[in-house]
Amino acid sequence: MHQAIQMSDTLWYLGSSDRRLAKFENCHPVPLGISYNSYLVMDEKTVLLDTVDHSICGVFLENIKSVLNGRPLDYIIVNHMEPDHCATLAEVLLRYPEATVVGSAKTHAMIKQFFGDLNLQGKVMQVKENDTLSTGHHNFRFILAPMVHWPEVTVTYDETEKILFSADAFGTFGALSGNLYADQLDFGDFELSEMRRYYSNIVGKYGLQVQALLNKAAGLDIQMICPLHGPVWRAANKIQWLIEKYSRWATYRPEDNEVVIFYASIYGGTENAAEVLANALGAKKVKNIKMYDVSVTDVSYLVSEAFRASHLVFASATYNNEIFPYMENLIRDLAAHNVQNRSIALVENGSWAPVSGKKMSELFSSMKNMNFLQDTVTLKSRGHEEQRLQLLSLADTIAESVFAAELH
Ligand SMILES: Cc1cc2nc3c(=O)[nH]c(=O)nc-3n(C[C@H](O)[C@H](O)[C@H](O)COP(=O)(O)O)c2cc1C
Ligand SMILES: [Fe+2]
Ligand SMILES: [Fe+2]
């Protein structure tokens, strides 16, 4: 049976959730599942905004059929051509061959790439920045949002209902469970951390492009944001809060003046140093210190933590003359996501020729505005009194810096 949700006289939610998927993009764990959102506007003409992932194709087709209730499908607006949204486009066109497909030039080029044998002759509407489509009562305006999250992305603004269909922007990990709207959820720290993990790992790299979209959005009266993942945003205070979060993340400004210690340890010597440092920070009254064994916690959570906190410590054993692999993977991922403007400190370990500190600092040197707080602390196998004192001194420096830092 269909599970479409009516949102207004003319707007319907046609998406659903996948709680079986292990890793989104076969990369990021989604223990709470993921929703794929699609919307249908029932105007004089009918308009579908994006399709969905293959995993929910069956119910999606049932949703469309039930809401259209015998009417033709006039338009399909394709805001994003990534298969988590467009995989079912051909299935929809098979059933509604009358539909005109609306998208940017790059979108249409990608449709050909993904669906080579799809004949869309006479059914293509190519849109540029600020082009509009009137469907009777509704007037849709198209706004290019390249690299939020792929180059072809557009967002669509419904000028009539003042709704921004925002593609991947403003999305979050986590299935929808009956509460379609963010204002029906507490949206506490836990939900925020999943939204941050989505943002940082999916679009975190493209801060400049997200800023460009935010600037365009600032000129619009937005009463509702309908993203392609996660809940719909409609309360004015929630929308403002959401945009402030995005603006902070897009400019790589930390949210919390707090310390996160990432460590990579085989036999416990490096871990021991990380614990000594954390305890010394705690004794200095630094609050909410977080520690992660990078071999244990999935890197998507670690990237998210680096987007959140102002002070980051990286402690790693040397492994075959390199940084320990999980730590190297983390730092390369941070660089790939353009993490910048952080205060950092390094701890290295090695039994004969420790090089992890030097190699870590080389990776950080390619990143913008990473401020080394103190020289690398070096352990040879395990820490001794000399290293304990160095770690206490490092804790002093970090604590001072945390207390002096202001959030901008
Ligand atoms: C597979 C392997 C490769 C290693 N390669 C190096 C190395 O190239 N240089 C070095 O100084 N130590 C090397 N080590 C030794 C560890 O870096 C060293 O024992 C360190 O103290 C381990 O820290 P942990 O107690 O936190 O695991 C290697 C250890 C292992 C298991
Ligand atoms: Fe995407
Ligand atoms: Fe997506």
Band (pLDDT 50/70/90 cuts) for residue 218 is very high
Distance in Å, CA 229 to ligand 3 centroid: 6
Ligand with minimal distance to 380 CA: 1
Distance in Å, CA 350 to ligand 1 centroid: 5
Cα→Cα distances 198→168, 181, 249, 300, 342, Å:
10, 18, 12, 9, 20
The DSSP H or E segment spanning 10 is none
* pLDDT tens readout for residues 354-382: 999 999 999 999 999 999 999 999 999 99
* pLDDT tens readout for residues 147-190: 999 999 999 999 999 999 999 999 999 999 999 999 999 988 88
DSSP tally for the chain: helices H, then strands E: 12, 23
Ligand 1 and 357: CB distance under 6 A: no
Ligand with minimal distance to 153 CA: 2
Band (pLDDT 50/70/90 cuts) for residue 261 is very high
Distance in Å, CA 147 to ligand 3 centroid: 12
Cα→Cα distances 231→78, 170, 171, Å:
19, 9, 7
Ligand with minimal distance to 110 CA: 2
Ligand 1 and 269: CB distance under 6 A: yes
Distance in Å, CA 82 to ligand 2 centroid: 5
**Ligand 1: which of 351, 355, 358 to mutate, most ligand atoms within 8 Å of CB?**
351
Ligand 1 and 268: CB distance under 6 A: yes
How large is the average pLDDT for residues 40-67?
A: 98
Q: Does the pLDDT of residue 193 top 90, yes or no? A: yes
Domains of the chain: 5-250 (3.60.15.10), 259-402 (3.40.50.360)
* pLDDT tens readout for residues 280-293: 999 999 999 999 99
Ligand 1 and 204: CB distance under 6 A: no
Residue nearest to atom 22 of ligand 1 (CA): 317
β-pair partners for 87:
none
What is the Cα–Cα distance from 365 to 310, expressed in whole angstroms?
A: 17
Residue nearest to atom 4 of ligand 1 (CA): 319
Cβ(98)–Cβ(75) below 8 Å: no
Query: What is the chain's length?
Result: 408
Ligand 1 and 380: CB distance under 6 A: no
**Ligand 1: which of 319, 379, 391 to mutate, most ligand atoms within 8 Å of CB?**
319
Q: Does the pLDDT of residue 406 top 90, yes or no? A: no
**Crossing angle between the packed helical segments 189-198 and 236-250, to the nearest 10 degrees:** 50
Cβ(338)–Cβ(207) below 8 Å: yes
* pLDDT tens readout for residues 97-114: 999 999 999 999 999 999
* Nearest atom of ligand 1 to the alpha carbon of 264: 26
Ligand 1 and 270: CB distance under 6 A: yes
Ligand 1 and 319: CB distance under 6 A: yes
Residue nearest to atom 30 of ligand 1 (CA): 319
CB atoms within 10 A of CB 159: 14
The burial of 122, by beta-carbon neighbours within 10 Å (0-12 exposed, 13-18 middle, 19 or more buried), is given as exposed
Distance in Å, CA 53 to ligand 2 centroid: 11
Distance in Å, CA 190 to ligand 3 centroid: 21
